Every structure is written in C-alpha cells, then in structure tokens.
Chain A
Amino acid sequence: MSNPAIPLWEVFIRSRNGLAHKHVGSLHAPDATMALQAARDLYTRRGEGLSLWVVPSNAITASDPADKDMMFEPTASKIYRHPTFYEVPDEVGHM
C-alpha cells in the first residue's frame, strides 16, 4: 500500500461532546473527502463517535524515538511538578 497516489491519513474520533478527538488509527485514501468517508466506514461501525478528523500522516512531525532519553527522561526526577507533591494546609479547605 505504498501507492503515492493513495497517501496515508491519521484518523481522530471524538466519542462524546466535551471530550477531545482521540487518535484511533490510520487509512489510505486518495484525498481528504474520501479519507473522511473511509474513516466513517472503518472506524465508526459500532457507534464510536460523533465527530471525525482526518489528517495527512505526512503533516505530522514526530519526535525521534532515538531522542527518547533526552526528551523525556529529565522529567522523571522532577516529582515537584505533580500536585500530589505538595501538602495543602487544612485552612485552604477543599480545592
């Protein structure tokens, strides 16, 4: 399926009002209109969603897996970034 006339698209579905669109998979389609129809046919067969996005896969800039340590490792030691790190005084009450 590497036909350049039929590029790859990423599919996002919003399952309910108030939720964000979530990535569910990908598909091949010649253009945006057909990609949207294919997304409907492939990914919403069981009432999965109320709204669909399709995005050309080549429009996505992805992080390099080889950079994983540099990109994400430094946050592991910074536990003070989590709200649970702090003790809230009783006087503050319910937050």
Chain B
Amino acid sequence: MSSVLLATAHLKGPHVDFAGLSPLIALLGGAAIVLLAGLVGSRRVRAHAVPGLTLVALGAALGLTIWQWHEQKSIVSGALRIDPLALILTLVLVAGAACAVLLAWRSLAAREAAHGEFHALLLTSVGGMSLLASAQNTVALFVGLELLSIPLYVMCATELRREHSLESGLKYLIIGSVGSATLLYGLAMIYGATGATDFSAIAEKLASGTLATDPLTLTGVALCVAGLCFKASVAPFHQWTPDVYEGAPTPVTAFMAVTTKVAALGVFLRFFDVALISTQSTWGPALATLATITIVVGNVGALGQSSLKRMLAYSSVAQAGYMLAGVVVASRLGVQATALYLAVYLFMNMAAFAVIVARERETGLGDSISSLAGLGRARPLLAWPMTLAMLGLAGIPATAGFIGKFYLIDAAVSGGYAWLGVVIVVGSMISLGYYLPVIAAMWMGEAPAEGRTPPVHPGGLPALAGGSPELDADAGVPEAAGWEVGTVAVLAGAATLFFGIVPQPLFDLVHHAGAALGLL
C-alpha cells in the first residue's frame, strides 16, 4: 500500500502548457457551452444568445491568440507548435468564423439545425482547423483534419429540407472521406519509411541517407499530396467543390470557402516546408504543375457560371492554385506571401458572400448573378463591397488582392519559378472574364421589376423523410438580412480597400511567419 502511494508520489504528471493550449480550449470549451445553451427553451434566447455566446468564445480565442503572440514553443510533447505562423492562421480562422456566425445569425440553416448544434459544430470545426494550423506531427495533423471535416459534413446538410443541401453534405462526406483515407495511407507510408511521426524528425531522417529517393517515401509523399489536395480543392481533386459550395447553406459556404483554405494551406506550409523540405526538388515541380493545372481549371471552370456560389467555388479553386505557388518555392518569402494572401482572401470572400447572403434573403433569385442586377443604384452599400471583392479577387491595384498577388509572384520569381508567376497572371487574365460580368450586372444592369419576392420554401416533409411539425413552425420564412450581414459586407469591403492602399500592417503581421519555419 505504502509503496503504491510512494510510486504515485514520484509519478509526475506530464507538464501541460495551458497557456499555449488556451485558444484551443476557448474554442472547444465554447462549443460545449454553446451546445448546452442551445437547450434553453425560449426561442428568442436560442436564436440570439447562442450566436452571441459563439462570438464570445471566438473573441476569447482571438484574445488568447494575441496574448500568445511572441511565443515560440512546442506543446503537448511536441505534437503542436505555437509559433507566429500558427497564431496568424488562427487569427484568420477565428475572424472567418466570426463572420460566418454573423452571416448565419438569422439564417435558415442555423434555425433548422437548432442553433446550439449548428454553432457548436462550427466552433469544433474551427478548433480542428486551429489544431491543424499548429500540428507538428502526423498524428496531430490527422486528428485536426478529421476534427475540421466531420462537423463540416454535417453543417453542409443543415438545411434539412433542401435537397441540394443534403446532397452537398453527402457528396462532401464521401469525397472528404476518400481524401482523408488517402492522406492516412500517405502518412502511414512516410512513417514506414522514416519511422517517425514528428515533422522535424521526419525531416532529419530524410536529410540523411538515401531515404529521400526511396520509393516508399515518394509514394507516401504522393498520397499525402493527393489527400491534402482534396481538402484544399486543388485540381484535379477539386470536382466536389462547385457542387458542395453551391448546395451548402450560404453562410456555411462562406465559412468553408475561407477557413478550410486557411487550414489546408497551413498544413501544406508546415508539412512540405518543414517535414519534407529535403525532398523539395522532388515535390516542388510536381506541386508547381498541380498549381498550374489548378489555376487553369479553376479559372476556366468559373467562366460562364450563372450561380455566384458556383463561380466563387471555381474561383476559390483558382485562388488555391495561386497560393500553392508560395508553398512550392519553400522559402521564407513564400510562407509570408501565402499567409498574407490567406488574410486578404478572407476579406475578399467574406465581402462577396455577405452580399450573396443579403441578396438571397431579399430576392427570390437565390445566388443567381441576376440577383445583383441594378444593385449599384438601389443598394450602394452592398454593391461597393461586392465590387471591391471582385476587383480584389481579380488582383486589381488599390485592393488588397493586388498586394497579395504581387507578393506571391514576387515569391515565385525569387524562388526560381518565374514561369509560375506568369501562370498566375495568365490566370488573373482569365478571371476577369467572370469577375467583370458581376460588376457589370450591378452597375450596368437594370434592376428587376420592383416588388420583393420572398424566397419560396418547400412545405413540411412527412415525418419519415425527416420532417416534423415543430420544426415547420419554427422555420417559416427567414427574416430579412439584418444589419449584421451588411456590416460584414461593409467591413470586409473596407478592409479590402484599406489594405490595398496601406498594406504595411499586413506585412508586419506575417513578417515572423516565415522565420517560424526556419526557412531561408
């Protein structure tokens, strides 16, 4: 008995660095609280307190991230790394999630999924992304990826009575699982080849000896590339993107478009530029080729789309291609350029999606491009953010998109990939073919005949098909877009413009990100 006591006395629990984990705790703890708050009886409390609490959780995560700002440390036995890159990405993720919460505030999706569940899923997903952004070994990477994906599958399908929403969720589930499985194979093979799960240990093993050209390693790397490309929707693994983006409820699409990109690109940066850095000569050209294909496929696919969400889905494919250029060069400049572009990408996409959300609720036209017709005259406060977002995504000067693209091309050229820089500008040229018509519709098109046509909602389904009278009573016609949607649009549009003219704060933000990975 006494010996047992003695043994436990000597057993020291592992040191847990709660400070480093605090943003993650805020997110996941927040998810639990929000889930409980969703059980409150009053409908009004549910509809407003739950998103409010979610924002508080996100705000706490944001504050804790900033508190950790200058840290550089490994936590949880080296599974996670807290460094400027992880913190910047977390910042962008949290900001993106906050925008998504605002966009979903009065949305059908949040209501149908019961507010608590919707927001808890959202917070869990953000937690997974934040985990992913700081993952330092392959196990943490995979856990983060699943924690990110599974809530998203559900969120895509939250508009229970819309067929496209369900289809979108199912499609995403199936394709996402294939991607995860592929990635897992790849990770296992790399573990088999190197005997390590830790990124820096893998890098050490690969640097010494002939492991770098070992077929097992190379197959593993190839499978990892494929798996991650599914997540980042890099061509030719992008086919799910347009369908899922179009089908998912728009606030969820906005959330997905921005944050999964951030998380996936974060993993790309960490995994390829740290763990696999010594095989850069092998995967560099391959990834550059993928980037080229992605840019071409994304931009060409977006041409002629009449659904704005589909168009933005293809555009996000193309943008992923641009950002891959920063990964390919595996340099400090590349990391900084990618991180900066991710931040800029947040503003531009949020502005665009906020406007789409607003128009979806105001007109009966859904996300069709015609829902924007004549917006310039009728609603300048919505038209300007959309215009700036489109110009920014196309990379026009005086928007942050120009600065981001400039930096990426800069990184590509100085990394010896000048041709990839040219591919980026060629992609931008094609992209004008679909961004400009959106602007033309707003400023040069006539507004449709007056009279608000509220969106049509299918009636209740039989209980067998998932319908319930209680839900029907709860659903009804959604409220008009509130002030919060307009606020997101205006703020994001203003940020797009502001950082296009005064970009230095963004550069200061990402300045240490590159150094964090120990690249030149």
Indicate whether A and B interact.
Answer: no
- Residues of chain B touching chain A, judged by Cβ–Cβ distance below 8 Å, are none
Seen from chain A, the residues whose Cβ lies within 8 Å of a Cβ on chain B are: none
